[in-house]
């Protein structure tokens, strides 16, 4: 493994645009924008990267990355249609308080950095997330999506640069 994409789901593979017009699907977690999946596939294929899930969706998978619920199964099916697979998940550093307040952005950076420390064969990495992750090192590798539209072609171009060793300034 040398290149890794740390993937968030909500605000990346779906968006508030979809939330507004598909409220039921978003609330039960099943709606993933197939066009965003195609953009992600282009990034993975162009950069020969692996996907590490760092979304709250990772709790819907068991230790062997098998889906535990309908939503996770649907995500896996959509990814597999374009030959994408989840290679791993970040560790969980959340506390009861973070889970109650849903302030996951406070630990996401630490979870990514811990995962990287445990996998020292990674040469380049990018984070696709709609949240600010409150960490300067992560910020250099972060492609922050707009939660109202999700992943875009511009985001993909930025991610390709980062995965090619051209960190954004």
The pLDDT of residue 26 is 44
Position 137 scores a pLDDT of 92
Q: CA 136, CA 128: separation in Å to the nearest integer?
A: 15
Task: Assess if residue 133 is contained within a domain.
Answer: yes
User: Is position 168 within any domain?
Assistant: no
Task: Please tell me the predicted confidence (pLDDT) of residue 28.
Answer: 46
Residue 150 phi, psi (nearest 5): 75, -165
User: What is the overall mean pLDDT for the chain?
Assistant: 87
Let me know if residue 78 belongs to a domain: yes
Report the CATH number at residue 52. Answer: 3.40.50
Please indicate, yes or no, if residue 50 is contained in any of the structural domains: yes
Return the residue matching tokens 């922050």: 144
pLDDT in tens, 34-65: 889 999 999 999 999 999 999 888 988 999 99
Phi, psi of 50 (to 5 degrees): -110, 155
The two three-digit tokens of residue 30, written as one number: 């099943």
**Do 156 and 39 contact (CB within 8 A), yes or no?**
yes
* Beta pairing partners, 124: 3
32 contacts 74 by C-beta, under 8 angstroms:
yes
Q: 3-class DSSP state for residue 51?
A: strand
Report the predicted TM-score, pTM, of the whole model to 2 decimal places: 0.89
Q: pLDDT tens digits for 97-145? A: 887 777 777 789 999 999 999 999 999 999 999 998 989 999 999 999 9
Nearest to 89 by CA among 153, 5, 16: 5
**What are the pLDDT digits (tens) for 65-96?**
999 988 889 899 999 999 999 999 999 888 88
Cβ 159 vs Cβ 28: under 8 Å: no
Structural domain of residue 28, as residue ranges? 3-163
In a domain, 32, yes or no: yes
């Amino acid at each position: 493994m040398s290149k890794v994409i740390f993937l968030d789901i909500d605000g990346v593979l779906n968006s508030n645009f979809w939330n507004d017009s598909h409220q039921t699907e978003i609330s039960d977690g099943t709606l993933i924008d197939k066009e965003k999946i195609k953009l992600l596939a282009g990034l993975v294929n162009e950069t020969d990267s692996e996907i590490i899930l760092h979304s709250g969706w990772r709790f819907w998978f068991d230790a062997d990355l098998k889906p535990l619920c309908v939503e996770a199964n649907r995500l896996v099916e959509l990814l597999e249609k374009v030959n994408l697979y989840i290679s791993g998940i970040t560790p969980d550093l959340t506390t009861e308080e973070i889970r109650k307040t849903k302030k996951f952005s406070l630990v996401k950076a630490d979870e990514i950095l811990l995962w990287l420390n445990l996998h020292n064969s990674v040469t380049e990495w990018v984070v696709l997330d709609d949240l600010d992750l409150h960490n300067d090192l992560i910020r250099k590798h972060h492609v922050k999506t707009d939660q109202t539209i999700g992943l875009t072609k511009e985001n993909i171009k930025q991610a390709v640069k980062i995965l090619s060793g051209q960190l954004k300034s």
